[in-house]
Structure 1
Amino acid sequence: MEISWPWRFVTPSEEEKLLRRELLDLRGSYAQWSIIAVIIVLRVYQGWAKSVTATELSSKQRRGPTSWWDRPIAAGWLETRRQYALCGLWLLWLFSLSVWNSGEDYMHLTKALGHVALSQIPLQVLMSPAAYISTSKPAASSIFSFVTSIPQATVTPYHRLFGRMVISPLLVGHATLYLSFFIETNHPEFGSLLNKRVRDLDVQCGLFAISMVISLIFYVRPRGAALKTGTQGRSAAGSMQERRRSFYYGHISLVALLCFAAYYHVLQAQKYMVQALGAFLVNGVFSWVVVRWGERR
């Protein structure tokens, strides 16, 4: 039994274009409101967990070894099976949201993948460890950590995986489907639609944005080994701090370029990029306050 590709190129009417636009906006809203729903469920669960006596909790923690879910998939990996599984489930949810009500419309699915992915960038920013290069409290809480009462050391791996496993695949899928459409569509003057559209600013911004996404996937943070005490140890610690600082500014620059390109790529992305900028400023100020307040205690 052959499995055929269910989507095809269609030419929607003006009324269908308007409906498609409304559905895309609705998807973005659902994707963002689902974040709020998860946080509420998480807080309810935390409240229920607190009803268990402290004695029972500490007893279980002392007796029970690290569970299979809380171990890395392979030796040397930073993230656990649980973190991979939860990010994988969120990717499936967002992909399902993109497919929902797309019918056979290839371009509607293509746009939905990008729209839903961009709606998650503000959350990705709110999870980021803004105090990463702080010498006193590099694990200072982000807004997300504060709201959910989850330590930043636990949130940061989700921040890394969320970018690699959730946002990046959706954006790469969006770009791949769009490029396939441009390549397969003939143009009377340029041969293919790609040869024409690649000259337009919106497509150039889109290609630049996806190149930033790919760069972020491979631009990994530095990892240092345990350091010995003494002059050599202090020198190595200083070198590691410089590498962390370089990574941080490089990472922020790539994200900023991605958001800048996405802002000019398509009008519908602008509100999410403005939200991401606001999230960056609020998260940065919040972490700065946490660091400063902690230093004065």
Structure 2
Amino acid sequence: MSVLPWPWHFVSVSPTEQQHRRELLDLRGYYAQISFLLVVLFIRFYTRYFRAAEPSNDSRARRKQRSWWDQPPFANWIETRRQYTVCIIWLGWLLSLSVWNSGNDYLHLTKALGHVALSQLPFQVLMSPAFYLVSNPSSPSTMSLLTSISQPALTPYHRLFGRVVLSPLLAGHAALYLNFFAQSSHPDFGSLLAKRVQDLDVQWGLGGLTLAIMILLFGRPLRTTSWVQLWPTSSIKGRRQVFYYVHVLLVMLLCIAAYGHVSQAQIFMHEALGASVINMICCWKLS
């Protein structure tokens, strides 16, 4: 049985080609963000003109009888098959954007994975309930208002978006870069990896990857997981407070790490900060 060869390789590029690749990376980020906005507009149009036209008795009947798509894929899982499918499809779209026009350039693909992933962070912020503690967790976020989807129905997508979409892209970006460093030699350090781990930009990147993993581990606010037992509280409200403070702190640190990692990510971190302010104002007005 033959195995398809890996199509990307370490290649040398001229300054002109490097500038062209930089422009392609920026274009990928724009396409990724525009495509998300188009999906939001489509959902808004659908919920406003099609779902609103459905008879109310039919919607009540659907709520009483959940379909196979609206059930978790495994026992004790929270999110449904439909929610996983939507996020996996979006991951596939972002992967295709990363591969698009990458040719056989290994480093171009590597950079594209990280660039496309960070372009989605502002939308992840807009999906989150900003006043999770001081108001009802079902209070609408900005994305809930834009799509006319209730916050309880949107929050699972917020969780899965981080686990199924952003994390694999960032992990792939880090793994490919570390592989490149390990396989590249350096005249003074033996390998490029030994040299680059001493550079601040790589240290920021490794710190950001560590924070992303920690966000994954601390991603269940109301479950009795082992890390929750570290705090002397057993109430649901207490667990929610612990989760919220830890989660927000880790996300803030991740944004700082991404900002220091590479200059091209800074525009997305500015957008994420703006999205956070907008989301807080929106939730405050509606709380």
- For the aligned pair, the TM-score class normalised by the smaller chain equals over 0.9
Displacement of 1:51 in angstroms is 6.3
Would you say 1:244 and 2:240 are equivalent positions? Answer: yes
- Aligned residue for 1:88? 88
Superposed CA RMSD: 1.8
Using the TM superposition, give the Cα deviation of residue 224 of structure 1 relative to its aligned residue in structure 2, in angstroms: 6.0
Matched, 1:265 2:264: no
Conserved 8 A contact 1:131-1:139? no
Aligned counterpart, 1:170: 169
Contact 2:70 2:82 in 1 (8 A): yes
Residue deviations 1:222-270 (CA, integer Å, cap 9, x gap): 3269xxxxxxxxxxx9832122111101100100110001001000000
Change in Cα spacing, 1:238 to 1:17, as seen in structure 2 (3 Å) is same
Q: Which residue of 2 aligns with 1:58?
A: 57
Find out whether 1:154 has 2:157 as its counterpart. Answer: no
Separation in 2, partners of 1:30, 1:264: 24
Note the C-alpha offset of 1:65.
Answer: 1.4
Deviation per CA, 1:183-241: give whole Å up to 9, x if none. 0000010000011111110000000000001111111233269xxxxxxxxxxx98321
| SS of residue matched to 2:235 | helix
Match in the other structure for 2:204: 205
2:69 aligned partner: 69
Q: TM-score, length-normalised on structure 2?
A: 0.93
Give the conservation status (yes or no) of the 8 Å contact 1:221–1:244.
no
Structure 1 unaligned residues grouped into runs of 5+ = 226-236, 292-297
- Structure 1 CA distance, aligned partners of 2:16 and 2:9? 19
What is the one-letter code of the residue matched to 1:33? I
Could you give the per-residue CA deviations for residues 150-175 of structure 1, whole angstroms, max 9, x where no partner exists?
00001100000000000000000000
Q: Deviations over 1:103-136 (max 9, x none)?
A: 00000000000000000000000001112213x5
What TM-score comes out, normalization by structure 1 length? 0.89
Larger displacement relative to structure 2 (3-12 or 37-46): 37-46
Q: Size of the alignment, in residue pairs? A: 278
Contact kept, 8 Å, 2:159 with 2:219, in 1: the verdict is no
Amino acid aligned to 2:145? F
| Structure (1 or 2) with the larger CA radius of gyration | 1
Greater shift in the superposed pair: 157-166 or 60-69: 60-69
Match in the other structure for 1:229: none
Structure 2 CA distance, aligned partners of 1:51 and 1:66?
20
C-alpha contact (below 8 Å) 2:221/2:244 kept by paired residues: no
Q: Give structure 1 regions of 4+ aligned residues with deviation exceeding 6 angstroms.
A: none
> Amino acid of the residue matched to residue 268 of structure 1?
Q
Between the aligned partners of 2:53 and 2:250, the Cα distance in structure 1 is 44
Distance 1:282 1:238, change over 3 A: farther
Equivalent residue, structure 2, for 1:282:
278
- Asked if the contact 2:125/2:272 (under 8 Å) is kept, the reply is yes
SS in 1 for 2:201: helix
Task: State the match for 1:295 in structure 2.
Answer: none
Structure 1 position 83, deviation (Å): 0.1
CA distances 1:133-153 after superposition (whole Å, capped 9, x unpaired) = 13x522100000011100000
Amino acid at match of 2:286: V
DSSP 3-state at the match of 2:75: coil
1:231 maps to none
Give ranges in structure 2 of 5+ residues lacking alignment. Answer: 225-232
1:190 equivalent to 2:189? Answer: yes
